[in-house]
Structure 1
Amino acid sequence: MSNIVVFGSQWGDEGKGKIVDMLAQEVAAIVRFQGGNNAGHTLVVAGEKCVLHLIPSGILHPGKVCLIGNGVVLDPEVFLREVDSLAKKGVDVSPERLMISKKTHIILSYHRALDVAREGKLSGGAKIGTTGRGIGPCYEDKMHRCGIRAADLADPELLRDKIARAIEEKNVLFKNLYGAEEMDPEAVYQELLPIAERIRPYLADVSTAIQKAVDGGGTVLFEGAQGTQLDIDHGTYPFVTSSTTVSGNAASGSGCSPRMLERIIAIVKAYTTRVGGGPFPSELFDATGDYLQEKGGEFGATTGRKRRCGWLDMVVLRESVRLNGPTELAVTKLDVLSGLKELKICVAYEYKGQQVDYPPQEQNGMAFVTPVYETMPGWDEDITNVTSFAALPENARKYLVRMEELSGVPIGLVSVGPDRKQTFTRR
């Protein structure tokens, strides 16, 4: 079976965790390749809800190897909380099946403090909407070549020295720019030591683990976080995350050849949502937007923030297809649209007097577009127990077919509810 990449095609929150959980049954290893605990993947199995922020969603399947790649930034405290929570539920979270790349960068308390201080200094529309989890500052240290890597947790003297050097510069910012309290590097180091001791058994060569799985005839599933429009290069900059979210980063962020990436699945919510600041052309500010928010339970899995809701935006999806090259779409939350008399699809934008099929490439260009809509009839039927494409209401089938036509990509999976069992194949 082909190796699989799962990525978010919109602004994240598309339901990647559920699809990864379902596909994990068929693979040998699951790899998280970017992002940090600013993402939350929600799984519902037999009615029980489980939210994971760092550990790959395949952990709930016994015997599957779960890997955290070098492209991730890992908060060790959050990781251990997830480990302990899963262990209490009887899930095997031993180092034999759960591994962290030695090259993964580590989020520490000064990253979180800097994140909060920066966002607090911004006002109004300038706020990025960061989660305050220290993701951006940790990626900054990585690029500045002063970051703490997971392997450093096994070298106490190197760890102490790197923390001291990193905090020296940050204390200047805390004191002189943000008016915040300076941090004591020795206190940070001492606080980290017992955490490091627990993390060390999980350290591994993830790149080699992936190669071994493939050489042994197994399939690898690469799990992305956030969505394409939050990509640091290709998203709605500066209202983006701090990592590369597109499918091509699955190779770089996990340590394997791009030739391993074969089946690429774009997760698409049947409508569009966004958390945090930034432009959102198809956003709804009326009763329909409230309906989608309430029926879809649109609250951030990480922050609990209310998600902004809008119509399906094919301009955004078309851009995702161009950037990621999906072999198929997986459509989620189709059931949320039940009960709406008519549906709208944004098929293009009006921008500077012209109709465009792709998002403007200028910074904040999407804040100045007008969506061009196509209207389709809705359906009233409850579809949460539907198990095949043929059993869907006619208008639901037409909606999915139109999505295929406008994107140029076939739909492979359709989800009609939160539970693992509420997903069926299109073909």
Structure 2
Amino acid sequence: MHIIVVDLGFGDCGKGTVVDYLCATRDVHTVVRFNGGAQAAHTVVLADGRKHTFAQFGAGSLRAGVRTHLSRFMVVDPLSLVTEAEHLVALGARDVWGRLSVDRAALISTPYHREANRAKEIARGAERHGSCGMGVGETMAYALSHPGDAPRAGDCAEPALLRRKLTLLRDRLGAGGPPVEACLAAYEGFAATARLVDGFRPEGPCVFEGAQGVLLDEWHGFHPYTTWSTTTFANAEELLDGAPAFRLGVLRTVTTRHGAGPLPTEDRALGITDPNNPANDWQGPFRVGHFDAPLHRYALQVCGGVDGLALTHLDLRVHRICRSYRVNPLRAGAPGDLERQEAMTRALDAAEPEYARVTDWVRTVEDELGAGVVLESWGPAAEDKKSSVRLTP
């Protein structure tokens, strides 16, 4: 049985550790990445202390035999992929390249995209959107403007074509970066190492690993503080082409976000930090607020509901929940109306949370969101989790 793992917050809810747990306790053939790119940061900690923050490889890669597929919906960064593979090998992971497949149709992000992305974010000054500075959004934007010229994974095996595309890209973006020939050599090496495939057909039970969170979705998030990615179940379900899957939504006992944008329940007095999510020059600070049930109900609404919830960070000593706002501006609408989403962002900035005390997190979350908690996480390792429910759609 396939499982799709989606974050119902602004990201950082613990998708990586949930995916690792599923791969450790179930017969999982492949972890499929179905959105986002190298800006993902899914941290996995094993019982023996080994730790890796997954960006592109599936978060089950430290489990023997589990494969990774980077689908056509991924933005692949071949250069970062090499660095990540080296760290996995250093941790003892075997045959990481042999267990990886990459859809030829996947867009690739380059140093030119990254430089253009960072230049735009710097130019916004105090109005920064909270970009990760990895060039993923710029890659998507360029592909929309120049669909026939956007570099894709399959182009790495065709040097003449890729040279033309990289030269056009560098000239059009005008943001600097290394010589085209240097990039070309690295991408040819990637094509010789990675297994490039056409499309995706499951060969066994798969876990579909989402990136970022539904509240950052390109169409349903709070514009302009959103990602250039569909963060709901939609891409995974398109890849499955009608095959059944369990829709697992991930939440943590506090609501967080990394960088700019609305966070109605933000409370610095909580004093909660996350060593896996430090402040950085591009996203800005890691922000923490009380569990925001209205926001997470909205996430459930726009992604069409879930079959079950994974609730993480139950080991945190927090006892407060926002059950409602005095005036609730959250209303799901048709995708594509960014003016509507921006108006909702402004209204959300003024939202006044109404709070209640929590004594039983699992029961409270189930009552507030109308979905069952099927997986509890009391710490970072797979051994810190428990699930007594069979995950079937």
Shorter-chain TM-score above 0.5? yes
Q: 1:71 to 1:261 in 2, by over 3 A?
A: farther
**Superposed displacement of residue 359, structure 1:** 7.2
370, 374, 386: which one aligns with 1:408: 370
Q: How many angstroms does 1:138 deviate by?
A: 0.7
The yes-or-no answer on 1:223 pairing with 2:233 is no
Q: What is the CA-CA distance between 1:95 and the residue it aligns to? A: 3.8
The structural deviation recorded for 1:299 is 2.2
Question: Superposed, which structure 2 residues align to 1:330-349 within 5 Å?
Answer: 330-336=310-316, 338=317, 340=318, 343-349=319-325
2:156 alignment partner in structure 1: 153
Pairing 1:64-75 to 2, within 5 Å after superposition: 64-75=66-77
Question: Secondary structure in 2 aligned to 1:82?
Answer: helix
Cα distance, 1:304 vs structure 2: 8.9
Asked if structure 2 preserves the Cα contact closer than 8 Å seen for 1:226 and 1:245, the reply is: yes
Work out the CA distance in 1 between the residues paired with 2:237 and 2:115: 31
Shift of 1:93: 3.3
Identity across aligned pairs (percent)?
Answer: 27
User: In the alignment, which residue of structure 1 is the partner of 2:337?
Assistant: none
* 1:102/1:150 contact within 8 Å kept: yes
Identify which of 73, 94, 111 aligns with 1:109.
111
Match of 2:192? Answer: 200
Query: For residues 283 and 259 of structure 2, what CA distance do their matches in structure 1 show?
Result: 11
Q: CA deviation at 1:420?
A: 1.7
Of 236, 240, 243 in structure 2, the residue corresponding to residue 256 of structure 1 is: 240
Structure 1 residue ranges without an equivalent (≥5):
175-181, 378-394
Offset at 1:426? Answer: 5.4
For residue 356 of structure 1, report the CA deviation from its aligned partner. Answer: 5.3
Q: Distance in 2 between matches of 1:235 and 1:158?
A: 36
- Structure 1 residue 328: deviation in Å? 0.4
* 1:3 and 1:220 in contact (8 A); partners too: yes
Q: By how many angstroms is 1:376 displaced? A: 1.4
Q: What is the CA–CA distance in structure 1 between the aligned matches of 2:110 and 2:251, rounded to whole Å?
A: 33
- How far apart are residue 12 of structure 1 and its match? 0.1
Structure 1, residues 64-90: CA drift from partner, whole Å, max 9, x if none? 221111111111111000111112222
Matches within 5 A, 1:385-400: 395=359, 398-400=360-362
- Asked whether the equivalents of residues 109 and 135 of structure 2 are also in contact (C-alpha less than 8 Å), the reply is yes
1:142 match: 143
2:262 aligned residue (272, 276, 279): 279
Output aligned runs, 1:168-187, within 5 Å: 168-171=171-174, 174=175, 182=176, 187=179
Q: Please report the TM-score for the alignment, with normalisation by the length of structure 2.
A: 0.89
SS in 2 for 1:260: coil
Query: How many residues of Structure 1 are paired with residues of Structure 2 in the alignment?
Result: 374
Taking the aligned partners of 2:314 and 2:283, their CA distance within structure 1 comes to 22
Higher-Rg member (1/2): 1
Distance 2:193 2:240 in 1: 23
2 CA distance for matches of 1:332 and 1:160?
46
Q: Does 1:371 align with 2:349?
A: no
**Superposed displacement of residue 206, structure 1:** 5.8
TM-score (norm 1): 0.82
**Letter of the structure 1 residue corresponding to residue 172 of structure 2:** E
Moved more, 199-208 or 61-70: 199-208
How far apart are residue 204 of structure 1 and its match?
A: 2.5
1:370 is paired with a residue whose SS is coil
The reply to whether residue 299 of structure 1 matches residue 239 of structure 2 is no
Farther off after superposition, 298-307 or 192-201 = 298-307
Contiguous gaps of at least 5 residues in structure 2: 334-339
Q: Is the 8 A contact 2:329 2:347 kept in 1?
A: no
SS in 1 for 2:112: helix
Q: CA deviation at 1:366?
A: 4.3
Offset of residue 163 of structure 1:
1.3
Q: Which residue of 2 aligns with 1:235?
A: 221
- Distance (whole Å) between structure 2 residues aligned to residue 305 and residue 356 of structure 1: 26
